[in-house]
Structure 1
Amino acid sequence: MTSKNVNNAGDSYILHFDIYIFQSAMSIEQLIKLKEKEKIVFIIRRYGLTFFWSWILVFVLFVVPFFFMFWLFNHSWWGQALFFIPVVVGVFILIKTIFIWKKNILVITTHRVVDIDQRGFLDKEISDVPYGQIEDVSGRIKGFCGTVFRYGSLQIQTGNGKVQIVVEKIKQPVYVQQEINELRERYLK
């Protein structure tokens, strides 16, 4: 982006985007507390297309009340309630879906795999598996949609059997499996 043909507005947007990514990575680094000489290699989130039915539900909850808005507003308080309740529920589902998507991540570093599992607004579980404890990594693509859109699940099993990380609906799980195995081999050498 060092070209002189790029206008200032474009530079500002790109700079803002880069800062946003940098700030996001910094908060993840602070959350998982990177060790000395450890670097983040991949940050993996659930594949956005797998939220399709949530997006459809939110769309319906937003749009349908507006089709009946004038009729509902002519029916005193219960008509207004029937208008606002689906819209508020739609906003809540939208916020929760985006929040969970943004916070539920798999972080692959040069030394370990960290699963940050955000299950709700106030429920978070963080699992940490060093490469030395990983016994098996498997990627699985299942079903028609998974095959067409190349998403599936990743399972990481430890040698002691205490920790098992399962990450559902990620893009290209077999590629992620191969990358984890390569990083593991490099780390163990």
Structure 2
Amino acid sequence: MTKGSKFIPEFSGQREDEEILMVLNKHWYTIAMPLAKGIVIIFLSFLIPIWTGFMGTIFSYAAGAIVYYLWIMFWIGYILYEYYQWYRDKFIITDHRIIDIDQKGLFTRRVSEIELDRIQNVTYTVAGFFQTLFNFGTVTIQSAGNNELTLRQIADPATYQREITTLVKKVTEDEPVSAEELLAFIKDKRI
């Protein structure tokens, strides 16, 4: 994919010669639990008053109706907030670097990056029953200078660990020098 393609849009801070290879979100399981919690609470908020016959009593008082609607709006807001957090957390892998965008709240974002040619070690971890069952985990990338970038809760971490390792090898392997180039270099140094 190239810069600004319709499938992978360009991003703020993208370099002119940089090609986006992958854009990853956290695994769907990480958003499923908060969404399920919010949906169940909203559903029960509608269902329990109807079952108990309490709905009429709630709405006979204006304050009760207001509190009831605020309760529903709170949980709708909770669902939207959790989805926003999940959607805005991204991992962007380009042909030059890996970028981790962490959305912290509505108005705070932390961006970390590591150049591919600085990467020294890439490991992955799948820990626990649900991570094993749904195949998601953590990819940890270590660079020269002891910097570390952690891609948490991504789907199929083994595949992405292999992909990143392959990219690093492509970027860091030196082109072999031909005999002609070596002779030309030696001649240039003699003169």
Runs (4+) off by over 4 Å: 21-24
1:159 maps to what in 2? Answer: 144
Aligned residue for 1:31, secondary structure, equals coil
2:71 maps to what in 1? Answer: 86
**Structure 1 residue 101: deviation in Å?**
1.5
- Partner Cα separation in structure 2 for residue 61 and residue 24 of structure 1: 35
- Find 1:57's aligned residue among 28, 33, 37: 37
- Partner Cα separation in structure 2 for residue 164 and residue 72 of structure 1: 57
- Partner Cα separation in structure 1 for residue 114 and residue 64 of structure 2: 54
**Structure 1 residue 171: deviation in Å?**
0.3
1:124 maps to what in 2? Answer: 109
Letter matched to residue 71 of structure 2: P
1:146 maps to what in 2? Answer: 131
Q: Structure 1 pair 156/63, CA: closer, same or farther in 2 (3 Å)?
A: same
1:187 maps to what in 2? Answer: 171
- Partner Cα separation in structure 2 for residue 92 and residue 24 of structure 1: 29
**Structure 1 residue 49: deviation in Å?**
1.7
CA RMSD of aligned residues (A): 2.0
- Partner Cα separation in structure 2 for residue 85 and residue 59 of structure 1: 15
Which residues of structure 1 form unaligned runs of 5+?
Answer: 1-20
Identity, % of aligned pairs? 20
- Find 2:8's aligned residue among 25, 31, 34: 25
Q: Structure 1 pair 80/23, CA: closer, same or farther in 2 (3 Å)?
A: farther
- Partner Cα separation in structure 2 for residue 109 and residue 72 of structure 1: 59
- Partner Cα separation in structure 2 for residue 82 and residue 22 of structure 1: 47
- Partner Cα separation in structure 2 for residue 131 and residue 73 of structure 1: 60
- Partner Cα separation in structure 2 for residue 120 and residue 77 of structure 1: 33
- Find 2:157's aligned residue among 156, 161, 173: 173
Q: In 1, are the aligned partners of 2:113 and 2:149 still within 8 Å (CA)?
A: no
Aligned residue for 1:125, secondary structure, equals strand
Which residues of structure 2 form unaligned runs of 5+?
Answer: 174-191
Q: Structure 1 pair 83/180, CA: closer, same or farther in 2 (3 Å)?
A: same
Normalising by structure 2, we get a TM-score of 0.78
1:34 maps to what in 2? Answer: 15
- Partner Cα separation in structure 2 for residue 51 and residue 98 of structure 1: 7
Structure number, greater radius of gyration: 2
Letter matched to residue 151 of structure 2: V
Aligned residue for 2:113, secondary structure, equals strand
Higher helix share: 1
Q: In 1, are the aligned partners of 2:31 and 2:86 still within 8 Å (CA)?
A: no
**Structure 1 residue 24: deviation in Å?**
6.5
Q: Structure 1 pair 172/125, CA: closer, same or farther in 2 (3 Å)?
A: same
Normalising by structure 1, we get a TM-score of 0.79
Q: How many residues align?
A: 165
